[in-house]
Amino acid sequence: MPPDETQIANKGYSMRKIGIIGGGFSGTMTAVQLINNTIEPIEITIINERETFNKGVAFSPYSKKHLLNVSTAKMSAFADDPNHFLDWVMKQSAYQNKDKTIIANSFLPRYLYGQYLTDIWKETIHSKNAGKVKINIIEAYVIDLDVDETTVSVVLSDNESLTFDACVIASGNNIPGNPKIKNTSFFNSKKYFQNPWNIDCVSNTNSKKPILIIGNGLTMVDTVSGLLEHGFDNEIYSISPNGFNILPHRHSGIKYTNLIEELKEDATLYDITKLFNKHIKLIREFGLSAEPIIDSLRPFTQRIWQKLTVNEKRLFMSRLRHLWGVARHRIPLQIHDKMQHLRIEGKLKIFAGRLIDISETPDSVKVEFYSKNHKQKEEINVSRVINCTGPETDLMLLEKSFLKNCLMKGIITQDELKLGINADTETYQLVDRNGNKHANLFTLGSNLKGMLWETTAVNELRTQAEQLAKIILRNRH
């Protein structure tokens, strides 16, 4: 029974305190869903640094040219209102007289999506239901966390301590882990940029020598565009184990169902790969490539992943992950065209190979790698190295992190492949060293990668945020 106003005023009732660590998409939308759905007074505290509040890493880009990699029609923040983002875009002055069908199928700037989330937040905190909620936004960083039977306490960077009745870890994407090279002192060099989402990595460049980007995925593409925008005009190199070509969004809208119809519940990784290859062969006959097949698997990926054995997951990670990544993570056609032009002009060179070592010389950076194509050790000299290998998921490899502390204290555990944090995927409760679920500690988003594999895009996170908020609101004790 929710308390009435007299009970609250007389303090015969203590308002439930909910903490959210991280105010990116996941943290913001969990808070929005809590505010929209609560029937009793609650207090919500979101802890996040100022610049990325509401937006997170993805939607606070340093460049207005960085685009969403999902079309407008698929980016609603609310699962039950699929056109919410599209409708919002059509109301913005720059888009009001544009064709809605074209906008629905296009890839808009990521900063615009950040503005959309900020608008949702502002609207939510001024809604009628927000009257029931005390909202605190704290601009800080969580450096430690502890739990007891009924509360979760967090320590902030200024050593202030806060205690909550329930706490959501929505910490999202970690910065990339350092590459495995012999000379680890290079990581202290001013010519090494570990965080590819920070503008520093593309500013104040020296065009006298090329730049090396480690990694060959979507962040590499953004970084190339950022470097050009900042006037860099020497060659850009990229290195990755296979040097695969990044693919554009093609065949959009093709719905392929044949593979799913043949997919058995008890299929092993071997069966799935065999089926996959069979269907790729079938559609290649008609000039299509693997993307419609990958897209058809998307709604079932989490279920398939959960059924694989640990050995199968390991095999997938070592043999198939890169191929999956290429077919799954695609870029808008116009960006792809730009990348192709850069390659034809010789401005962008993509190497397939394994890094051996990187060292700073007085006037450059020497990079040694084993070339997959030439089967020999090769050397390049560059002016800086930017790490675009994707978020680090092994918590023990993070330099500083409250999650690493939690792992060491046994409050949380990682999956065998160290892709994320162990949690109950139905209730989002984290699991401790003894296999017990925490009553009041929850997570969502990329922290669930080990459990679900696909758990980073908006269309997964919006559902998680809604379900998690409802679970927290139900779990009143």
Ligand X SMILES: Cc1cc2nc3c(=O)[nH]c(=O)nc-3n(C[C@H](O)[C@H](O)[C@H](O)COP(=O)(O)OP(=O)(O)OC[C@H]3O[C@@H](n4cnc5c(N)ncnc54)[C@H](O)[C@@H]3O)c2cc1C
Shortest Å, Cβ 250 to ligand X: 17
Say what angle helices 110-125 and 25-37 make with each other, to 10 degrees.
30
Task: Output 25 or 256, the one with its CB closest to ligand X.
Answer: 25
Task: Output 112 or 297, the one with its CB closest to ligand X.
Answer: 112
The count of residues interacting with ligand X (CB under 6 A) is 32
**Contact flag: residue 457 with ligand X (CB under 6 A):** yes
Task: Output 138 or 275, the one with its CB closest to ligand X.
Answer: 138
Q: Which of 33, 45, 52, 71 binds ligand X (CB under 6 A)?
A: 52
Name the token pair of 459.
Answer: 């269309």
Name the token pair of 465.
Answer: 């945020």
Query: Buried (b) or exposed (e) across 135-145, using 16+ Cβ within 10 A?
Result: bebbebebebb
Task: Output 213 or 458, the one with its CB closest to ligand X.
Answer: 458
DSSP class of residue 346? T
Task: Output 35 or 269, the one with its CB closest to ligand X.
Answer: 35
Task: Output 104 or 288, the one with its CB closest to ligand X.
Answer: 104
Strands (E), 104-160: 133-138, 142-147, 152-156
Name the token pair of 63.
Answer: 């460049």
Whole-number CA gyration radius for the chain: 23
Backbone angles phi, psi at 180, to 5 degrees: -85, 100
Task: Output 280 or 398, the one with its CB closest to ligand X.
Answer: 398
Name the token pair of 371.
Answer: 């070339």
**Contact flag: residue 259 with ligand X (CB under 6 A):** no
Task: Output 275 or 468, the one with its CB closest to ligand X.
Answer: 468
**Contact flag: residue 406 with ligand X (CB under 6 A):** no
Backbone angles phi, psi at 182, to 5 degrees: -70, -45
Instruction: Report the 10 Å Cβ neighbour count for 287.
Output: 7
**Contact flag: residue 170 with ligand X (CB under 6 A):** yes
Residue 166, CA distances (Å) to 17, 21, 125 in order: 7, 11, 20
**Contact flag: residue 47 with ligand X (CB under 6 A):** yes
Shortest Å, Cβ 117 to ligand X: 9
**Contact flag: residue 44 with ligand X (CB under 6 A):** no
Query: Cα separation of 194 and 387, whole Å?
Result: 5
Query: 8: closest CA among 48, 51, 42?
Result: 42
Q: Which of 33, 45, 76, 173 binds ligand X (CB under 6 A)?
A: 173
Q: Which of 35, 68, 365, 441 binds ligand X (CB under 6 A)?
A: 68
**Contact flag: residue 217 with ligand X (CB under 6 A):** no
Identify residues 1-40 at the interface with ligand X (CB under 6 A): 21-27
Query: Cα separation of 428 and 232, whole Å?
Result: 45
Question: For tokens 């009257």, what's the residue?
Answer: 131
Q: Which of 19, 41, 56, 332 binds ligand X (CB under 6 A)?
A: 56
Binding site for ligand X (CB under 6 A): 21-27, 47-49, 52, 56-59, 68-70, 141-142, 170-173, 219, 402, 445-446, 456-458, 461
